[in-house]
Amino acid sequence: MLEFPNCKINIGLNVTSKREDGFHNIETIFYPLPWCDVLEIIPLRGVHSKPDTLHLSGITVPGATDDNICLKAAAILRQDHSEITSLDIHLYKAIPSGAGLGGGSADGAFTLTLLNRIFELNLSALQLADYAIRLGSDCPFFINNTPCFATGRGEILEPVPLDLSPYTFVLINPGIHINTGWAFSQLTPEKPSQKLIDLIKQPVSEWKNLIRNDFEMPVLKQYSQIAAIKNEMYIKGALFAAMTGTGSTVYGIFEKNIPEKIQWNNNHLVRIIG
C-alpha cells in the first residue's frame, strides 16, 4: 500500500515557556503543503519472526537506518497489536531532513495510518495521535493533516479555517542543518502580547509586521545565507516570508503564478507550490 507523506510549514512560532520535563511550550500554526515523500508498506502475511526491513532512496537520511522513524512507528504500534506481521517498507525521501518541514514526522505518522488501514486495526484519529506523540512533538499533526493552531509541545491541536490555496508558495532550502538544541538554547521564552490564532485572521499582506518566528533572530544572525534568502523573497515580491520551524527552509507566500517568472539560486533546493 502506497502513501505520500507531505511536509508542513510553521506560520509564526512563539516559544512561550520552558516545561519541567525539559521540553518547551510553543504556539504555532501548522499548515500542510504538498511537498511529499513516497512511502510503501508491504506486509509479509503470515510472517512474524522476520525483522522489519526498510529500503531508503532519494535524499540521504542522516543517522542509522535502524533508528528510522518508520521502523519506530511500526514497533510502537506492534506492542499493542500483535496481528501486525513483518513488514517490507520502502521510503523515497524528497523532503530534506532537518529543514523545519516535518518530513520525518510525517513519515512516522503516515506509517501509523497506513498500518491502521492495512491491518484493519480500526484505530480512531485520537488513538493514532496518542501513538504519534511518542514518536515526536509534531507527529500528531500529520494524523489529521489540516491547518491547526498548535500549543503545548505542538501536540495540542485546534483546527483553524485557513485556506491559502489562492496563493503560490516558494520554499527554498539552502542545505544547512540547524541543531534544534542549539536553536532553543538561544531563546528566552516569553508569551507574545497577541495570540497567533488571532493574528492569522488578518490579510496575508499584513502578516509581515504581525507574525514572527522566535528562532529567526538567532538563526539568521548565525547563518547569513538564510537571512539573504528571506530578504530575497521580499525583494522578489513575497507578501510574507519566514523561516519554518528552527530552519533552515524559508518560504514565501506570493500572489498566484508570480514566482514562475522569477529566477532562483540554482545552488539551493527550490520548490514552487500552487
Beta strands in 71-202 (DSSP E): 87-93, 148-151, 156-159, 167-173
Verify whether residue 52 is a known catalytic residue: no
Distance (Å, whole) CA 210 – CA 192: 11
SS (H, E, C) 214-270: CCHHHHHHHCHHHHHHHHHHHHCCCCEEEECCCCCCEEEEEECCHHHHCCCCCCCEE
**Residue among 8, 52, 107, 214 flagged as catalytic:** 8
The amino acid that residue 67 corresponds to is: D
Work out whether strand 87-93 and strand 53-58 pair parallel, antiparallel, or are unpaired.
Answer: parallel
Task: Give the count of beta carbons closer than 10 Å to the beta carbon of residue 79.
Answer: 9
Angle of CA points 149, 2, 93, to nearest 5°? 70
Verify whether residue 93 is a known catalytic residue: no
**Residue among 93, 138, 214, 230 flagged as catalytic:** 138
Catalytic residues: 8, 138
